Structure 1
């Protein structure tokens, strides 16, 4: 039923247990499940108290860290590296941690846990439950920082584009803004959870591991602060592009208005002299058309000169 089960022995040896007990004779036993597994609910209800058991079975989670008796309820999220899925749709892992037991439940593949599983298959792995939690948090945090750094580079690229007024709005700008919003939605509560984890007063988290977890919590805080900064910077980039578009449209409208102002009196004159009724001046004069054209040209030049003097051009 489980994706994997490993016993980590005091001498560092990692074995696959032959029994079905919740814990083994090693330092700790790691159970890893998929939430969709048939029979998982019955197994958890039979082996765990209702509160930590219920937290492992929740279909929707948010990052959290809560103490329950001598164990830890821990929900975390990691960057989604599954093929064909968006990185910012973060993947959750539900955990129950005791001194000699680690249970993890996933809904989608989490590559940080997969890395640990592959290491244990190769005979390498964290020696204690605290080291397991620290290793997992470290892998999750490192990938979060990589994703935040990637988005930061995109943000700098968008800002550099602003130096050229002719640059159109990047089509990916709105996508990047949504990525920042979604990442921050999960990372801010994760920052709180990791801060609580680093400060938890339990024998399963000794002081050396607590110091390392505090450093990881600080790195997550920096990532959240960077996302806050990028969110504001991206809004500024969007506003600058919108301002450029508005200025361009206003400039074009102004030019069209000036052209209309020049041709409006000329259209009036051509309309007036175009009426075919008796009494119109110049009807018998062969030079009348030339005089009219020259008069309209002079009027147009006078209007342009007026616009220039008033600094409309």
Structure 2
């Protein structure tokens, strides 16, 4: 039976440290196998050992050993009998159950007497790259147990599982509250990576705008602004969640984990600040588009004006010699026509040379 550990995708930490870490998850990268291989995975762990069991139904869920911590990861929660049985087994409040199943529920945190519930979103690029798809991700922290519910692919948790598999790591020696922080921190790091890709895209658009031969359209700028706005709606409540956890007096959070939640707040606050800067940059990009468009139009109008100015005296002279008076000079001269054409050419070249020296075109 396959497991999360045997998939061996590039870990989130590797994505952040690797030079090629400019790509984030997109819909075309999501495989149905990522979501439906098994219903969930149960991990029992402590400093002495780790046991991992993949299961297809609640009936296969093993008994929780009293001496170990428990992490249950449930994939793609929906209105199924299995999901509802899991809620009943762990005595979830009806409102929490509804927020877990509903993929459109907002990002939030709820502190109850026996649990802490966090609902968040994982930003994933749509296949066309014009919008962001928000994948639902929920965490429920109970005594000695952490439950996660996710629509996102398991690769997001690969680094957490790698650390859990190492007996020397802090995560194996700590309780579920540390695992709770580690997953939220992994999501915060992913959001930092995501905002970095948005910033790179805005910089590319800005470079393209200042090029006269750019094929950039206004729709591209609107699409970028829409993506940044979507992401900003996610980052602000994530910061509020981290802030709430730093002030929590819940017995489920130990004193040793408080420092890590303050660090989580710093990460989320930095992401919010970066996103707000991007919103301002995208707004300026919109103004820059109209400025550069006006500039290019002015360049065209300047050339057309210069051409009109060159032909203005030529039109004046041609108009004079086009009058049908009987006794006009030069009409009976054999060299009159070529002389007149030479005068027109001399006037045109003189004006063109003058405008060129003035850099008017």
TM-score bin, normalised by smaller chain: 0.7 to 0.9
Report the equivalent of 2:77: 35
CA contact (8 A) 1:64 1:75 kept: yes
Q: Post-superposition shift, 1:32?
A: 2.0
TM-fit CA distance, 1:105: 1.4
RMSD: 4.0
| Matches of 1:237 and 1:107, distance apart in 2 | 34
In 2, Cα distance between equivalents of 1:256 and 1:85 = 40
Q: Distance in 1 between matches of 2:353 and 2:166?
A: 85
CA distance in 2, matches of 1:309, 1:22: 89
State how 1:146-185 maps to structure 2 within 5 Å.
146-155=193-202, 166=212, 168=214, 174=221, 176-185=224-233
* CA positional deviation for 1:121: 7.0
Cα distance per residue 1:280-311 (max 9 Å; x no partner): 73443323224433554566578779989999
* Counterparts of residues 94-133 of structure 1 (less than 5 Å): 94-117=138-161, 126=172, 127-133=174-180
Determine the structure 1 residue equivalent to 2:241: 193
Asked whether the 8 Å contact 1:55–1:73 carries over to 2, the reply is no
Moved more, 221-230 or 98-107: 98-107
Give ranges in structure 2 of 5+ residues lacking alignment. Answer: 1-37
- Is residue 23–residue 100 contact of structure 1 (8 Å, CA) maintained in 2? no
Q: Distance in 2 between matches of 1:206 and 1:245?
A: 58
> Aligned with 1:286: secondary structure?
coil
Task: Please report the TM-score for the alignment, with normalisation by the length of structure 2.
Answer: 0.69
Judge conservation of contact 2:107–2:234 (CA < 8 Å) in 1.
yes
Q: Which residue of 1 aligns with 2:184?
A: 137
Unaligned regions of 5+ residues in structure 1, if any?
Answer: none
Counting matched residue pairs gives 310
Q: Does 1:4 align with 2:41?
A: yes
The structure number with the bigger radius of gyration is 1
Against the structure 1 CA distance between its residues 15 and 300, is the aligned structure 2 distance closer, same or farther, given a 3 Å change threshold? closer
Match of 1:231 in 2: 279
Q: How big is each residue's C-alpha offset from its partner over 1:112-143, in whole Å with a ceiling of 9 and x where there is no partner?
A: 33544566578886442201111101211222
Deviations along 1:231-275, one digit per CA (max 9) or x if unpaired, are 323433453354233122112202212321331342354355457
SS in structure 2 of the partner of residue 75 of structure 1: strand
* 3-state SS, counterpart of residue 136 of structure 2: strand
Q: Classify 1:194/1:205 alpha carbon distance in 2 versus 1 (closer, same or farther; 3 Å).
A: same
Are 1:219 and 2:263 an aligned pair? no
2:256 paired residue number = 208
